[in-house]
Amino acid sequence: MKATQTLHELGQSLWLDNITRGLLTSGTLQRYIHDFSVTGLTSNPTIFDHAIRNSSDYDDAIRKKTKEGKTGEALFFELAIDDLRAAADLFRPTYDLTNGVDGWVSLEVSPQLATDTAGSLAAAKSLHALAERPNLFIKIPGTKEGVPAIEEAIFSGVPINVTLLFSRDQYVAAAEAYLRGIERRIAAGLNPDVRSVASLFVSRWDVAIAEKAPAELRNQLGVAIARQTYASYRTLLDAPRWQRIFNAGARAQRLLFASTGTKDPKASDTLYVEALAAPFTINTIPEATLKALADHGTIPAPLPTHVDDEFSRFTKAGIDIAALGSRLQTEGAAAFVKSWKDLIDCIGTKSKALKAA
């Protein structure tokens, strides 16, 4: 049995961390669904920038939409939603079969809204309505300003993928925002079945300390953070407040492990996926890692639901975990803004070139 199927049998969803028009039109995504047990996907500005910049697959659509007067962000979102609708339709049988637990795709609000609560909420509502697919998450970053937008979006009935979470504390803040939104729906007599996932970024921890950590600690901090966060996730699900909303008809916000491609060329190419096997979670996995996992991955015992302190050894090495988690979120938000600007510039350049041709 392939390791991808083993994870599926364990109860962990594998979502592809990529989307391109070529993946959709070539039948490759459908093959991943059939052969590698892929049950969803995520997107972000960097993914779309690479997809549009490095292929001609979008040229006809850009030419057509430019003639219709579309430019900039509006043009991008139409391109992205076209792709994500097609992907959502491929995953719709999984969504229906699992009663909405699985089979999702994700679209991010503009990263420039990361510190704009009202703007994030308005964009989330607008994009979800525009997409017209029930199995599409809107991604809102779990920044200080994003947390209230997450609560309000959930209360409004918009399914949310909370992105840019790097620590247990950031995860707990996002989980509590989801919980408050659902509790408010119950109090208002609204259907509490609004889905959400919380995306914890893993590998960037190890990239951040690669030059500082001693050899024996290399490529271990990200997994330690994930283990700690998973233990808190399982504890939260057993807490009385969560049990009450489940009893009222709500479903759990699922924990998602993101950024799980190995960045260190000296480490195993399936390092993070193998280390983070856990039931009732999701792993978003780059294409290269997905293929490596199917080819030669092995799945050990699943993550424990309780962990002892794993961080004293990092503290002794001079690593401030709390400060680093905050820094990573800030840097991650800034990196997505840069990718967003690059993406919009790319679309503008392509539009001009195609118009001139």
pLDDT, tens digit, for every residue of 284-293?
A: 999 999 999 9
**pTM value?**
0.96
Q: Is 139 assigned a catalytic role?
A: yes
- What pLDDT score was predicted for residue 355? 84
Q: Which tens digit of pLDDT belongs to each residue from 97-134?
A: 999 999 999 999 999 998 999 999 999 999 999 999 99
Burial of residue 309 (number of CB atoms within 10 Å: 0-12, 13-18, 19+): exposed
Across residues 254-260, what is the average pLDDT? 98
**Residue 336 — pLDDT band, cuts 50, 70, 90?**
very high
- Mapped onto helix, strand or coil, the DSSP state of residue 249 is coil
Q: Contact at 8 Å (CB) between 257 and 282?
A: yes
> Helix, strand, or coil here: 321?
helix
Question: Does residue 301 sit in helix, strand or coil?
Answer: coil
Catalytic residue among 65, 70, 139, 350: 139
Q: In whole angstroms, what is the distance from residue 217 CA to residue 174 CA?
A: 29
Region 228-246 average pLDDT:
97
- The alpha-helical segments, DSSP class H, found in 162-262 are 168-187, 203-208, 221-237, 240-247
CATH number of 3-356: 3.20.20.70
pLDDT category of residue 155 using cuts at 50, 70 and 90 = very high
Helix spans in 269-320 (H)? 271-275, 287-296, 312-316
Q: Please list the residues that pair with 14 across neighbouring strands.
A: 38, 283
Say which residue the tokens 């679209």 belong to: 107
CB 280 within 8 A of CB 252: yes
pLDDT of 356 strictly over 90: no
Query: Distance (Å, rounded) from C-alpha 254 to C-alpha 275?
Result: 18
